[in-house]
Amino acid sequence: MDDLEERQQRHPSLSKQAKSSPVPVDSNSVTQRLQKELMALMMSGDTGVSAFPKGESIFTWIATIEGGKGTVYEGLSYKLSLHFPLDYPFNPPQVKFESRCFHPNVDRLGNICVDILQDKWSAAYDCRTILLSIQSLLGGSIVYLSDAEPNIDSSLNSSAAELWSNQEDFRRMVHKQYAVGDACEN
């Protein structure tokens, strides 16, 4: 059994993103919805979140989330990828940190365990909702749809979960991992 299969057994919600919807979807309507979401995000004026399609495909986006002021992530900028399924919004996009992120609910491959991307997904959510929820998971100032506190009992990163109670040590590790990830990307 590989690492991904093992994590999916411990966190069954991680595999939800791969399931397809029984509802037939017109890819033209999905494209139109994603274009509207992109415009809404660009016009929202939300601080510290942005996203744009990667290349020509409206189904793959690159996003940026800034760490919130007064948090251990302050001053850090994270790149994420969003892959929207053809049956979006009936199923959530696959969202992954492309930058190294040390957090109890983010594994070393960048997979994220946040309820609105799994069992609490609703077709009413949009890209803005997703990004603000992930930003709040990183201790952002706005608690959006996800809990601002990580789920320590069901963490993807046990090292981060163990350090969480000592915020000074946790902050040092966040910055160390960020620096290592930054060096690997350059």
Angle at 156 between CA 72 and CA 130, to 5 degrees: 65
Tens digits of per-residue pLDDT, 10-69? 555 454 444 544 555 678 999 999 999 999 999 998 989 999 999 999 999 999 999 988
pLDDT at 146: 45
Rounded CA separation 4/11 (Å):
10
Where are the strands (E) in the chain, listed by range? Answer: 49-53, 60-66, 77-83, 94-97
Q: What is the mean pLDDT of residues 140-169?
A: 75
* 116: its two tokens: 């609105």
Q: What is the mean pLDDT of residues 167-173?
A: 92
101: annotated active-site residue: no
Average pLDDT, rounded, for the chain: 84
DSSP letter, residue 92: P
Q: CA of 123: how far to CAs of 60, 87, 92, 130, 146, in Å?
A: 18, 10, 8, 12, 16
- Of 101, 113, 127, 184, catalytic: 113
